[in-house]
Structure 1
Amino acid sequence: MFLRSAVLALSLLIVIACQHQPRQSDPRLLVENAYILTLEQGQREPVKGYLLVDHKGVISELAAGKPPAGLVVQRRLDAQGQWLLPGFVSAHSHLWQSGFYGIAANDNLEGWIDRLYGVEAPKLDAAQLYQLTRRGATQHLQNGITSVFNFTYTGADRSGEVDRQQLRGALDAGLRVVHGLNVRTVNESWTPAMARERTAAFLTWASAQPESGRYLGTMLAGAAGYVSATPGQAQVEGDLMREFFLGNQQHYLESVVDSAGERARYPLLEQAGIAGPHLIFGHFIHSTPELTAMAVRAGVGMTWNPMSNGRLGSGMADVLAYRAAGMKVGMGVDGEASADRADPFENMRMGLYQVRARQQRAAAMQAYEVLRLHTLGSAEVLGIDSQVGSLKVGKRADMLLLDPRAFTPWQEPYAALVFAAGVKDIREVFVDGVSLAR
Structure 2
Amino acid sequence: MYLKSALLALGLLVVIACQHEPRKGDPRLLIENAYILTLEPGQTQPVKGYLLVGQDGAISGLAAGQPPDGLVVQRRLDAQGQWLLPGFVSAHSHLWQSAFYGIAANDNLEGWIAQLYGVEAPKLDAAQLYQLTRRGATQHLRNGITSVFNFTYTGADRSGEVDRQQLRGALDAGVRVVHGFNVRTINDSWTPAMARERTAAFLAWAGAQPESGRYLGTMLAGYAGFISATPGQAQVEGDLMREFSLGNQQHYLESVVESAGERERYPLLEQAGIIGPRLIFGHFIHSTPELTAAAVRAGVSMSWNPMSNGRLGSGNADVLAYRAAGMKVGMGVDGEASADRADPFENMRMGLYQVRAVHQRAAAMQAYEVLRLHTLGSAEVLGIDAQVGSLRVGKRADMVLLDPRSFAPWQEPYAALVFAAGVKDIREVFVDGLSLAR
Scaled by the length of structure 1, what TM-score is found? 0.98
Partner of residue 211, structure 1 = 211
Q: Alignment identity in percent? A: 89
Partner of residue 314, structure 1 = 314
> Is 1:41 paired with 2:41?
yes
Partner of residue 86, structure 2 = 86
Partner SS for 1:218: strand
> Is 1:437 paired with 2:437?
yes
Letter in 2 for 1:245: S
**CA shift at 1:409, angstroms?**
1.0
The answer (yes or no) to whether the contact 1:141–1:437 under 8 Å persists in 2 is no
Partner SS for 1:337: coil
The answer (yes or no) to whether the contact 1:133–1:170 under 8 Å persists in 2 is yes
Partner of residue 98, structure 2 = 98
The answer (yes or no) to whether the contact 1:430–1:437 under 8 Å persists in 2 is no
> How many angstroms apart in 1 are the aligned matches of 2:3 and 2:368?
67
> How many angstroms apart in 1 are the aligned matches of 2:79 and 2:5?
44
Partner of residue 198, structure 2 = 198
Partner of residue 355, structure 2 = 355
Letter in 1 for 2:356: R
> How many angstroms apart in 2 are the aligned matches of 1:351 and 1:437?
29
**CA shift at 1:303, angstroms?**
0.2
* 1:109-258 matches, cutoff 5 A: 109-258=109-258
Letter in 2 for 1:204: A
Partner SS for 1:166: helix
**CA shift at 1:31, angstroms?**
0.5
**CA shift at 1:6, angstroms?**
6.5
Deviations 1:343-373 (A, max 9, x none): 0000000000000000000000000000000
Count of residue correspondences: 438
> How many angstroms apart in 2 are the aligned matches of 1:82 and 1:16?
32
Partner SS for 2:179: strand
**CA shift at 1:14, angstroms?**
3.7
> How many angstroms apart in 2 are the aligned matches of 1:394 and 1:201?
33
> How many angstroms apart in 2 are the aligned matches of 1:142 and 1:64?
28
> How many angstroms apart in 2 are the aligned matches of 1:8 and 1:169?
55
CA-based RMSD: 1.2
Partner SS for 2:334: coil
Deviations 1:175-219 (A, max 9, x none): 000000011111111111111111111111111111100000000
> How many angstroms apart in 2 are the aligned matches of 1:113 and 1:24?
51
> How many angstroms apart in 2 are the aligned matches of 1:15 and 1:60?
27
Partner of residue 378, structure 1 = 378
Partner SS for 1:427: strand
> How many angstroms apart in 2 are the aligned matches of 1:391 and 1:113?
38
> How many angstroms apart in 2 are the aligned matches of 1:14 and 1:41?
47
> How many angstroms apart in 2 are the aligned matches of 1:227 and 1:35?
49
* 1:254-333 matches, cutoff 5 A: 254-333=254-333
Scaled by the length of structure 2, what TM-score is found? 0.98
Partner SS for 1:232: helix
Partner of residue 393, structure 1 = 393
**CA shift at 1:231, angstroms?**
1.4
> How many angstroms apart in 2 are the aligned matches of 1:35 and 1:6?
46
Do the aligned partners of residues 159 and 3 (structure 1) sit closer, same or farther apart at CA in structure 2, a change above 3 Å counting?
farther
**CA shift at 1:24, angstroms?**
1.9
**CA shift at 1:36, angstroms?**
0.4
Partner of residue 68, structure 2 = 68
